[in-house]
C-alpha cells in the first residue's frame, strides 16, 4: 500500500474528480486507489498496490495532476502541492 497527500490551490468538485479518475483508470489500468477529501482542497490517496509492484511515484503524481486539471477545465488553474 502507498499513501500520498496533496493540497490544491483551489477547491474542486469531488464527484467530478472521482468520475474523471474512474475514466482514467479504465483507460490505463492501475491499482485500486481510495481518495479521502478534506474541504475539497486536501486529498489523500491510498493506493492498494503490492510491495513488489508499487505505482511509481512520478507516474501516480502525473496521472493525479492530469485528473485534477481535467476536473477543472474552463475554471481557474489549480496547482497541486505534494505534502510529506
pLDDT of residue 73: 77
* Domain range annotation of the chain: 2-83
The architecture that CATH gives domain 2-83 is 2-Layer Sandwich (3.30)
Residue 64: how many other CB atoms lie within 10 Å:
21
pTM to 2 decimals? 0.88
- pLDDT tens-place values along the chain, 84 residues long: 899 999 999 999 999 999 999 998 888 777 889 999 998 789 999 999 878 878 888 889 999 999 999 998 777 889 999 997
Rounded Cα distance, 75 and 31, in Å: 29
Amino acid at each position: 500500500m502507498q499513501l500520498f497527500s496533496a493540497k490544491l490551490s483551489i477547491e474542486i468538485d469531488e464527484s467530478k474528480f472521482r468520475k474523471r479518475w474512474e475514466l482514467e483508470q479504465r483507460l490505463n489500468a492501475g491499482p485500486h486507489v481510495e481518495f479521502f477529501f478534506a474541504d475539497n482542497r486536501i486529498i489523500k490517496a491510498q493506493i492498494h498496490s503490492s510491495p513488489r509492484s508499487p505505482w511509481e511515484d512520478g507516474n501516480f503524481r502525473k496521472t493525479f495532476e492530469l485528473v485534477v486539471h481535467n476536473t477543472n477545465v474552463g475554471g481557474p488553474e489549480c496547482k497541486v502541492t505534494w505534502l510529506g
